[in-house]
Every structure is written in C-alpha cells, then in structure tokens.
Structure 1
C-alpha cells in the first residue's frame, strides 16, 4: 500500500482529466480506456449526518422524552452525564455495576447509529448556586448530589446571595476550608480506583465515542472547585487551597485517565490545564465573550493537539452575552454570532458541539443555520477520482487508486478500516470485500488557518492519494459486479461513515462503477439516477 499526500495531485495516465485545474468534478462519470476505468465523483453538497462528529445531543434521562423523529437530522453523538453513585456507590462495587448502568442508560443507541460521550459527575448544582435535590421518585434524575454512600459529602462556608445564583463567604470564614467531599483525604484514591473501573468498562465499548473527564466541580466542569489557580475562582477574588481549588488533583486525574484509557480519546474542560497530558478539550461556552481567554485563546495556544485529540463542547446561551437569546435557534439565527461560531469551529478544529437538544428542526430557517454549522464541524471526506482495471481475476491482486480530501474542520480520530467491495448488480448486496491495508483515515487532515472573508483555510487540506493492490478471493464467480468503497465501524464490520459524494447506495457503500471478474468490462458507468440520497438513509447502525 502506498499513500501520498499532494496539494496538486498528478496521477498520470491512470486518472482521468475530467476535473482539471484542481476542480472537483461536477458530476459522476466512469470511463474505460480499454485497460482501466477512470472515475470522477461529484461532491454531495448538503450537510449530512455521520458518526463521531457534528451536533451532539443531550437528554436528562428520566425527564426528557426523545422525540419521534430521533435521531435528529444531524445527531450522531449524545452526551451522557453519569452520576458517580449510580456507577459505584461503595468502593467494593465492581466494574459490572458500571456496565449494567451504562447498558440501562445507553439502550438502543446502536440501532440509531449514535455514539455516546459519557461524563461522570458528582454535583449538578451546589445549593449556594441555586441547586436542588434529586427527585426521589425518579432514580435517573441528574439533579442534586451524587456522592458515593461511603464517602463523606462536603460541608463548607459558602452561602447563596439572596435573590441571586451567586455565592459569598462571611468575612470570618475567609480562610475556612471545605470538609469532606472533594477534600476528604480518601478522595484521590477513590478517584483512581473509579477511573480504573471506567477504563475496564468503556475503553473497548463500541458505543463510546470519547470520554469527558468530568468528576470535579458542578456538572463535572472542573470549576467550583478548580483544578488550578490559573484563573480566579468564580465566587471569590482569590483562591483558597482546600476550598476554591484542589492542590494535586490535576495530576491525580491526568495519571488515572491516561492509565485507564488507551483506545478512547479523553477530553478535559480547560486548555490551560493538563498540558503534560495527551487529552482533547471540551469547551462548554463557545462564542461566549466572557470565556474568550479561558476558552478560545487558551485552546489556540495549545497548538496542533487537535490533530490527535478531539475538540468539542457546547454553545450555552443562558448566561453572559448569549443570555439575551431565549434558545439555541435564536443564537445561530444571529448572523454575527453564527459567524463567530463558525470561525471558532474552523480555527479550533471543532469536532462536535452540543446545545441543540430542544431545537426545532422543522423550522426552515433553523434548518438552514444548523446545516451550515454541521457542514463545518468535524471531518468531511470528499472523493474526487478513482481508477481500477476493467477486468480483475479471481485469486489475483489488482490495482486500485483513489483521491480523497477532508474539507471539514477536524480529523476522524480513530483508524476505522476502509473496505473495497464487490456488490451484486441486481441486489446491491455485498458479494466480497476486503480491508485496504495501511490506510489511516485519522491522517486525512483538514486545512488550517481560517480566512473568514474568503471562507476557506489559508492552508488548504491536502489531497490524499491512496494506491492499493487488494487480492480478489479465488472463489468469486465470473461475472459483472459493482466495485464500491466503504468505511467500516469496527463495532459491527459494516460501513457507517459516508464520504460526502453523490455516488451512494443505501447501506453505506459508495459505488465506483461496474467491473468484470474474469471478463472485460466495456461499459463501467453507473446510472446516477440509481444513486440514493445520503441524508435520507436512516438504515445505518452498528448493532450486531
């Protein structure tokens, strides 16, 4: 297998010249020169739903009802807040408790082709910030406090400001620390043991997309208390060790998650923390001017970490300058705000964003705005050219070449296999397939350095040329077939990731053209009228 990256790809005689001057072909075509088929492929222009990218859902389990149209037009990810005491209520609870609760919470996601981003948390909202207790009649209610029963809960000096969600401390308590909870002497060791179990439960679970670190602070967002003193605390002018921040906890968490997760990507809340670790970042205040330094600027300063680690978060409209908007639809309807979001998506190489759970996709204006954001987020793989022999023979290797470009904002963070397959001409069912060796889709990088005026990266995405020599099984009968490409979900071995191209069949395969097995193919072109619409295909899933 040879893989070459070219800004101006020149494939010589093997690739057709239908899209000269570096332009993508406007239509699909497949032509034979008597020896090889040369394919040109048109881009699918609309936004589309694809795994491990784009809009990310959230539901308060047991309270919010998933609507009948779920999954939404672009929802392939869902964040799951996982209360510590439901995963482990006492230190002796085993990993099977985590698995059982995960099965309960994530039931059915495989059938919807949805992946989960779990975040363990303890405190939803503290009393001094207006928090209220969990509903005793709803075991899945996320509100309240979820300390394990054998770990003392916290007691401290904070009081709620009357008529406000802000907190204060009496002058006589200016140095009073918090007792129990995060500051209990046994807490660091309990964290290590819990995270070890989380790794056993989730690191190889095909339902898990990425893991948000969480645990500390309200909603598990690493504030109240903080993990460092880089920025002032939320409720006081300066930090107090043992109250506003937890000395040493950053290393405890960093080491624990690094040791527990080798397969799933781990994400942390703030870019100015965990600099010694290889983690992604979830920024939960996109486009919020009040967090421009803690979020956007700090993430930009981290450099190229996004090449190997995901960037996500949410647009939170209920505070700061975005507090003027009643909902997500209004946030993205504002041209200036939407432009800022897109600039941040492109420059931070954002993979996914939440905030849309209660949005109305039946509103045509919102649908247009949502499509613009979805198209910018995450990866977007566009095929332009391919070539293969007019005839391939059983038991023999054949040469396959194709070009792909990532026009999105982020990589695809796992090396899911790319398959070349033969489809039955009548049924479109797979007759044969093999994974292309050494193809690393995680290396199909987007561009960099976004130009808002040109609406393009100043450093454009490279065009990746794949050259492979797969061997056809000796048992394949002589006849005419359709040669196709697909990206397989390792959880099921079926294609679930789609290229952004019009040559598509329901079920996940992108047909290139007709090919002869043991015979010469004279008319390789498929009829574009037979192609299916990518966004209309809701059949994809990774259920066994």
Structure 2
C-alpha cells in the first residue's frame, strides 16, 4: 500500500510580522519514553493508597473550562487581531516558510528567527501557546508566506523538480547538500526553541506539500500512474526524524503519518498529526481517520498506525492535526456519531486519543453548545481532584495529598510544577510549597478498544489508568496560627513570558479562574468544630477607575474566624460576578449612567456576610472625553501591575531601559530601543463610538516614525505609513504632539480591535516617549 493523499485544502491566508522575543525558558527534561506496545496496552502500576492518618476532604466535580492549555481547538495566527475571539481555545497555529528564516542566499547556516519570534511573542501576549510548522512547498502560498519557500542557498546545489498537479517546485529530498542543511537547521531549531514555553507543539514539516510529508501525486505510490516519486527514501526520511528527535527533548513533536520513513517514527519520541481528522470521502464513503474495522479506508490514519503497531503511541506522545476543513462547520452537529462526510466523531477522538486539532471554523461555534463542549472536554486530559487529604488541624511538619482522576483520552504531556498554597482569610496566598507531583502520570481511567484487538463488541472500553494519588510533606513552621484554606495550582512556564498565560484548571466546583483550586479548610495551630460564623462585611468599597462601559471596584478584605473563600459583587439587587480577590471589573455598561454596587464575603462553609456599604459610580460619557487606553500616570503602576487603564494586560520586552519593559516617569512611558523591543496593550473593547486612535508622543532625535510598527484591529503598519486625515503621514518630533490616526481609513477594526502592539525591529536606535494612548 503506497502513501496516499487526496486533494488538500489550504487554510485561510496567513499574514506575518517580524520581531524578536525573549530567550528560551522551559520545564525540566522528562525521561526518554520507550515505544508503547501494540495491541491491548498493559495497565500502569496502581498508585499508593492515601495516608490513613489524614482526613479525606471530598471535592465536588464541575465541567472543566474549555480553554485549558495544550488541548482542544487551535485557531490560525492573524497578526494584530484579537486571538481570543470565537470558541474558547488556548492554541494558535501557524505555518512558516523555511526561506523566511534561512535568508542568506550564500550561507544556509545563517538563520534569522525574527519572523517566528514575533509571532510567538504576539501569541503569548494573549495567553496562548503556538503550534508551528516549517515548509518548503505550499501551493499558491498562504497569503504573505511564499508558495516556494526553498531557501536560495540551495540554488546551484540542489536539483529542483516541478509538481505539475499543484504548480510547486520540489527540491530533491535525497540530495546530500539538502539533507545536511536540514540536519543543521533542525539542530539550530532545537537549540533555540526546545522547551520554549511559547510553543506547545511542533509539526516536523519541511518535507512535501504544505510540509505534510506527501507529494501527491508525485509520491511513493507509482503503480498505476505516470508520476515519478518526489519523496525522499525511507533512509533519508528517517535521518530527518532522528535529527528532530535528537534536537528536541522537551517540546512535543508531531509527524503526519505513523508509517513515515518505513515506520521509523514508532521508536522515536514523536506523536502524530492527523490533518484530515474524522472525514469520509470516496464512493462509497470511507473514513480517513478510523481503521478499516470501523469503515475506514486502507490508508486511514489509524489503519496506518495499526499496520506499524503504533496505535498506543499516545501514551507518551501527543496526537494533533486538523478537523478536515470541509466538515469543520458541521463536525459536531451529529455528536457523538456522525453523518455524511462526518465520521463517528466520538470514536475518532477516543481511538486516536486526540489532544488538539486545528479548527478555524470553531469561531462560529456557540460557546454554550453542549455537544462541542463534550468533545473538547474529552480531548486530551480532563483532570478532576476527587479528594484532598490533610489534617484538619496541623502545625510544623505535616502531609498533604490529593487524588486526581483523568476523564479525558490522553495524559497531560508536560512536567508543569504543581504548587500547594495556604490562603488566609483575606484571600491572600501567604505561603506556597512546590511539589514533585508529575501530572504526566495521571492516565485516562478508561480507553476504547480497537475492534482489531478482539476484546469485545465495539464500543468496548477497558480500565486503564487509576485515580492517581500524590502526597508530599510540608512544613508549617513560621505560619501564624489561625484559619486558612489549602489551595493548589499548576504553574504554566508561559507565565514567565506573559501575564495573560492561560492556566491549567481542574474540573472542580472550587476551581478559581486565577488557577488556584480550593482543597479545604485547615486550622494552623489548635482549633476545630463546625464553622457557622459568617465573615464580617467588606469595608472600604470604592471605584478606582471607570470608563464609558465599565466600572472597576476595590475594597478592603473581610475577616472570618476560619477564612474568607471569596466575594460576591452585586449591581443593585443583581449578582454580577464573584472573585477570590479584593477587586472586580463590571463590564458591558451604558455610558454616562449611575450604578450602585455592594459586595458580600463568603467562607468555604457557605456562610455569607452582610453587604458592604454601597458605592454609586457613574460611567464616563461615550466619546466626548475619549477612552483612555493608558495615560501612564502610575495608576495602575507600569509594568508591575501589568494592567492598563482599561484594566487589561500590558507589558513590553527587549527595551534598553526598565529591565526590558521601558520606564514610566513624569506621567509618560519612555521606550529606549536598538533594533529590538516590543510593547503591547490589550484593548478588547468595542470602539464603535470612536473614530481616532490618538498617540501623544515625542522622540529623542525626531524622525522615529520609521523605526517601529503599530498593530491594531487587524492592521499592522510602520508607524510613519499610517494615513492621517487629509492624506498626510505621522512625523515624530522632539516635542510632544497628538498624532490622530483615523481608524476606519486605515482598515482598523473598531468592533474587534484586539491588542495595540508596537514592534521596534526596523533598524532604528533611539528613544520614544509616549504620554498617552487614547481613542477619541
């Protein structure tokens, strides 16, 4: 059976920006996994039992969030646009041409990573992680990424062929010069990005159309057609697989086909990437994911995995891919089964052990669609803490344990740190304890059997993982006596790069949006008994900031005999939100309207305080005074608060002052740059009432308008290229001036402005000082 691929669909056009980003930072290196066995996988060893000296504290289950990291749907990267619109997600996908980084026509060893770093930085600023692929052949190109991405340093060294079916140029993939250059590229790629927290998954790419490891119809299946084979030999393909496996120890790698390179991938630390996921084609219709035993074609993804004994590779390696574009809008309409060209979606997810899928059309899914939500929660991991174990009263050295169950189809693949904490009655986590707990060991409780295994009529499920028990010792010495709550969180390495990093959250009712999961109440020192005492009412309710559509509230923490669990915020008689902290922003309000707020505290036992004293706040008028994105007046403090005047994320990196973030002084932000620097400030607010972005700015020398780009609402331009009213262009001088950029005339979306981003990678060396950024 030769490799086969039908006519391929390209994704929506991608656009790119340039830039540089922070250095590598990643988790610890995991042990090298072996190759899982084919057939019914042996069950892992049973975990230890909970310590009988600890009290059990059951935790209520609840649906997990839909944008948990490193699973679910991925959307395409659109520079300058709001990457968090559409169905909840935490992954962003992008292609890159090899010629876009291997840019020196005379030297293949010189690699310019700026286009990748720019994308990774912007993706991370939204709290998301990237999944990426490099290619050399892309029929018709991707919009701004080239169709022919063969590096010019191959010219004269590597023979080129033409794929007349797609109009692409194929390099000779067996050429020694090409193989050496790709080996060196892969080594450099791994040296720079292995363990980079901005990247979730890497598709091996490089070979074939779209980097998908096929050159159809110029492929290995030469019987019955007149097309020669443009694919590399199995030996040369295996050489590249081994190069990737050697270069990346931490970041998860994925390969299109399980049987690539003669099945050489089965013994390497490589997952698979099914980019025609759950589609049915042909006449009669046959699945291209499910095996032949479930109506799949002979070339279906899981049939190929069965053929090389790789159907259990998910135990150690991630399974990514793309929901076939033709069915993305209807893929979950017949959940859990399928209809027409949509195959049995639940079976596809369960048997492939799907972790994530590209799904650009997920932007059209309703966030409350229960079928889509069921599919997303099934994908990858779905972790619930069944019980916490600790002594109700403790001091000095003590033990804390948790039992975690995985109701998904795959493990969590990264060694993120699990941290325990003690939260006091004010809602502050006053002490933390990092644990050695490894979430990668929490395997799915049940797995679906292939009919080929012969263990029962389909669908047959087998017990596999266990509720995994973890326990660690902590020392409470130095913690003041009193009531606390044990809390737990999983620390994402992306938090070292982005304040918006999306947090891994458990499927529990006490899981907070801030990442902390409440495990239960503990008394440090002595005490006990049933808690029936409500907290005291919060005091000091005030509004430190407001806009035309939002009000930000803050208050003094309430006190409680055991501990405050959180606060309920009321607008009039309506509860508008809850929070575990002492601040809250109410959005979606009308301009120039008075609203009255109160706040109530509650503890973990369900006791609720009386209401605070009310505060009445009037929102700003809609457009007469403008909407302040940031006036750098020190409230909020930059960069420590990581918040702008809209209460949303802001920050910078790579500048020559302020430790890379720039410096606020005298009510203005000074950014010193030398061909490096990035500043971002989230807007994520409908700007339909405004017509202009007003940047009050000056330069140290004047003329800095050509040194940086500005991106907003789907438009990114060098600052000096924006069109002003009357047809002129911005010109920065040494004195402050208000540069008024019309939004509509420059193609800036006012309904979805996303993030305002400024990139300083255009060869300049100076300082610009921004007094304010407003919309008027």
TM-score strictly above 0.5: yes
Task: Please give the alpha-carbon distance, in whole angstroms, between the structure 2 residues aligned to 1:541 and 1:103.
Answer: 18
Indicate whether 1:156 and 2:154 are aligned: no
The answer to which of 85-94 and 195-204 deviates more is 85-94
Q: How far does residue 521 in structure 1 lie from its aligned partner after superposition?
A: 4.1
**Deviations 1:59-96, CA, capped at 9 Å, x for gaps:** 3x46xx73x47154431111221211111123746677
Please give the alpha-carbon distance, in whole angstroms, between the structure 2 residues aligned to 1:118 and 1:421: 35
Q: Map 1:29-48; keep pairs closer than 5 Å.
A: 37-45=55-63, 48=66
C-alpha separation between the residues in 2 aligned to 1:357 and 1:208?
22
1:330, CA displacement in angstroms? 1.9
Where does 1:201-280 land on structure 2 (aligned, <5 Å)?
201-224=192-215, 229=220, 232=221, 237=225, 240-241=228-229, 243-246=230-233, 248-273=235-260, 274-280=265-271
Residues 451, 195 of structure 1: CA spacing in aligned structure 2 closer, same or farther, 3 A cutoff?
closer
Answer yes or no: is 1:505 the counterpart of 2:512: yes
Larger Rg: 2
Q: Choose from 285, 298, 301 the match for 2:304.
A: 298
CA shift, 1:533, in A, is 9.4
Partner of 2:731: none
* Residue of structure 2 in register with 1:147 after alignment: 150
Q: Contact 1:211–1:265 at 8 Å: present in 2 too?
A: yes
What do the CA deviations read for 1:390-425 (whole angstroms, capped 9, x no partner)? 2232xx221212211100011111121111101132
The 5 A counterparts of 1:106-121 are 106-121=120-135
Offset at 1:499?
0.9
- Structure 1 range deviating more: 211-220 or 491-500: 491-500
Partner residue, 1:368: 370
Q: Which has the higher helix share?
A: 1
Which residue pairs with 1:458 in the alignment?
462
- What is the match of residue 473 of structure 2? 469
- What secondary structure does 2:206 align onto? coil
1:377 equivalent in structure 2: 379
Structure-2 residue corresponding to 1:419:
419
Would you say 1:104 and 2:118 are equivalent positions? yes
**Contact (CA 8 Å) 2:99, 2:152: kept in 1 or not?**
yes
- Tell me which of 437, 440, 443 is aligned to 2:438: 440
Question: How many Å separate the matches in 2 of 1:227 and 1:467?
Answer: 56
Secondary structure of 1:209's counterpart equals: strand
Find 2:390's aligned residue among 375, 380, 388. 388
Deviation at 1:133, TM superposition (A): 5.6
State which of 285, 289, 299 in structure 1 corresponds to 2:280.
289
1:304 positional shift: 2.2
Separation in 2 of the partners of 1:425 and 1:156? 70
Cα-to-partner distance string for 1:77-123 (whole Å, 9 max, x where unaligned): 1122121111112374667722x222211233333321111111111
Cα contact 1:110–1:543 (8 A) shared by 2? no
Contact 2:422 2:432 in 1 (8 A): yes
Distance 1:540 1:515 in 2: 34
**Distance of 2:650 and 2:70 partners within structure 1:** 13
**Residue 41 (structure 1) shift:** 1.0
Q: Secondary structure at the match of 1:221?
A: coil
Q: Is the 8 A contact 1:95 1:198 kept in 2?
A: no
Distance in 1 between the 2:363 and 2:508 partners?
28
Distance 1:456 1:527 in 2: 46
Aligned-partner Cα distance in 2 for 1:489–1:329: 32
- How has the CA–CA distance of structure 1 residues 451 and 257 changed in structure 2, closer, same or farther, with 3 Å as cutoff? closer
Post-superposition shift, 1:179? 7.9
Secondary structure (helix, strand or coil) at the match of 2:412 reads: coil
How far 1:237 sits from its partner (Å)?
2.9
CA, structure 1 residues 10+216, in 2 after alignment: closer, same or farther (shift >3 Å)? closer
- Report what 1:308 is aligned to: 316
- Partner deviation per Cα, 1:245-293 (whole Å, 9 max, x = no partner): 4453312211210121111121111011223422100011111235344
1:505–1:306: structure 2 CA closer, same or farther, 3 Å change rule? Answer: same
Decide whether the 8 Å contact of 1:217 with 1:226 is kept in 2.
no
Aligned to 2:745: none
1:228 Cα offset (Å): 8.1
CA separation of 1:378 and 1:219: change in aligned 2, threshold 3 A: same
Moved more, 376-385 or 150-159: 150-159
Structure 1 residues 522 and 492: CA distance shift in structure 2, 3 A = farther
SS state at 1:299 partner: helix
Q: Please show how residues 161-176 of structure 1 align to structure 2 within 5 Å.
A: none
How big is each residue's C-alpha offset from its partner over 1:347-391, in whole Å with a ceiling of 9 and x where there is no partner? 121111112346313476xx3332121011010011111121122
Offset at 1:464?
A: 1.1
What is aligned with 1:173? Answer: none
Q: Which secondary structure does the structure 2 equivalent of 1:332 belong to?
A: coil
User: Aligned to 1:182, what secondary structure does the other structure show?
Assistant: coil
Question: Superposition RMSD on alpha carbons, in Å?
Answer: 3.8
Contact map agreement 1:265 1:310 (CA 8 A) in 2: yes
Unmatched 5+ residue regions in structure 2?
Answer: 1-43, 282-287, 289-295, 452-456, 532-561, 569-577, 586-646, 654-776
Partner of 1:517: 524
Relative contact order (C-alpha < 8 Å, sep 6+): which is higher? Answer: 1
Conservation of the 8 A alpha-carbon contact between 1:383 and 1:405: yes
- Secondary structure of the structure 2 residue equivalent to 1:97: coil
SS of 1:421's equivalent in the other structure is strand
Query: Please, which runs of 5 or more residues in structure 1 have no aligned partner?
Result: 15-35, 126-131, 136-140, 168-177, 319-324
Structure 1 position 436, deviation (Å): 1.5
In proportion to residue count, which structure has more strand?
2
